Amino acid sequence: MSERLMSEHSLLEITGLRVGFDTEEGRVQAVRDVSLRLERGEILALCGESGCGKSVTAMSIPRLLPPETTRLSGSIRLDGRELTDLPESALRAIRGKDVSMVFQEPMTSLNPSFTVGFQIAEVLRRHEGMSRTAARSRAVELLELVGIPAPARRVREYPHQLSGGMRQRVMIAIAVACSPRVLIADEPTTALDVTIQAGVLDVFRDLRDRLGTAIILITHDLGVVADVADRAVVMYAGRAVEEASVTELYARPRHPYTAGLMRALPSAAVTGEDGRRRLTEIPGLVPPPFEDPDECAFHPRCPRAREDCTATRPALEAFGTGHRAACFHPLSTAAGGDA
């Protein structure tokens, strides 16, 4: 699915995206030159640690960023149509219809004063011009689609009557109400318990399989990526440092940061020569978001860094089909090779 003719454009193409925020401490450059593509019917994971720019990248697509302080440049094309120079009114028609979002916090994303059914129907009436009754019955179908038991009863309930997992399913139902082409899910299961998470991830898989919805899944959890994503982009300090199909990425991570993240997981503990079980740390801290020297941003923390890493910034280079990494000294093919 990721192999398409170059001439045919992807569903979503982001090119040279840069997003900065003016703060009292100066300009924070959250996203620095990110380019990525989302194909039809694909689940693309944007992963990385807090502050890497994954959420900001995704939020720039429907431009859900404070306009007064945001400095955005680059190109975002949805089905060939440029979004960055659209006026606010045109974007409003796209939000919730072509591009919709699911957020992390299911507790605060729903309006407590209205029934679940009303809130779903509201979206349908606004974007699709449906009648009240038609929207109502569609709401029941949508709740069923996201795996909510007894949907006909649930539509009449208020958010406070639902558990966290159920609320998140309702949020997804609202997001897919108008059959969006792109669904952006920002840490959708982070606030949920694992036994609930599994079910919600199944909903995303199901939406992709049944409706062909393309999904951008923003997450810090490599387990979640492994579970549902087709392809993943790993971000660090505002840049994409590696991208590949998920199986390829986990089997043969090339960028030392990707490999480091995988080895830092508690499940990847190794037994040292002293018999103690240890995790592989990534030493040091993420660089401050204010400056951006022409060098590899990861080099101070990188076990493979050499002199040339500070000479100039490595660009994304291809390592086989669909696999790209931005590193002068990438890991060899054996997973976790030498560190």
Which spans of this chain sit near other proteins (rule: CB under 8 A)?
Answer: 24, 49-50, 163, 165-166, 193-195, 197-199, 201-202, 220-227, 229, 246-247, 250-251, 260-262, 264-269, 276-283, 285
Residue 124 CB, shortest distance to other proteins, in Å, is 27
Q: How far is the CB of 139 from other proteins (least distance, A)?
A: 21
Residue 227 Cβ vs other proteins, minimum distance, rounded to whole Å:
4
Q: What is d(CA 154, CA 156) in angstroms, rounded to the nearest whole number? A: 5
CA distances 140 to 53, 92, 177, 227, 339, Å, are 36, 25, 11, 28, 53
Cβ 194 to other proteins shortest distance, Å: 4
Residue 175 vs 261, nearer CB to other proteins: 261
Closer of 22 and 308 to other proteins (Cβ): 22
Residue number with CB closer to other proteins (279 or 311):
279
Residue 284 backbone zone (phi > 0: left; psi -120 to 50: alpha; other: beta): left
CB of residue 85 to other proteins, shortest distance in Å: 30
The least distance separating other proteins from the CB of residue 147, rounded to whole angstroms, comes to: 10
Q: Which of 6, 28, 11 is nearest to 19 (CA)?
A: 28
Residue found under tokens 């919730």: 96
Output 210 or 276, the one with its CB closest to other proteins.
276
**Residue 132: CB minimum distance to other proteins, A:** 30
Between 91 and 269, CB nearer to other proteins: 269
Q: Whole-number minimum distance, CB 87 to other proteins, in Å?
A: 29
Query: Quick check: 185 and 102 in contact, CB under 8 A?
Result: yes
Cβ proximity to other proteins, 176 vs 201, nearer residue? 201
Radius of gyration of the chain (CA): 21
Nearer CB in complex with other proteins: 132/156: 156
**CB nearer to other proteins: pick between 198 and 316:** 198
Q: How far is CA 138 from the centre of its chain?
A: 28
> Would you state the structure tokens that stand for residue 21, as one six-digit string?
């925020």
Residue 230 in contact with residue 1, Cβ under 8 Å?
yes
Instruction: Between 39 and 49, name the residue whose CB sits nearer to other proteins.
Output: 49
The least distance separating other proteins from the CB of residue 242, rounded to whole angstroms, comes to: 15
* CA 255 vs CA 37, 200, 302, 328: distances in Å: 20, 30, 10, 9
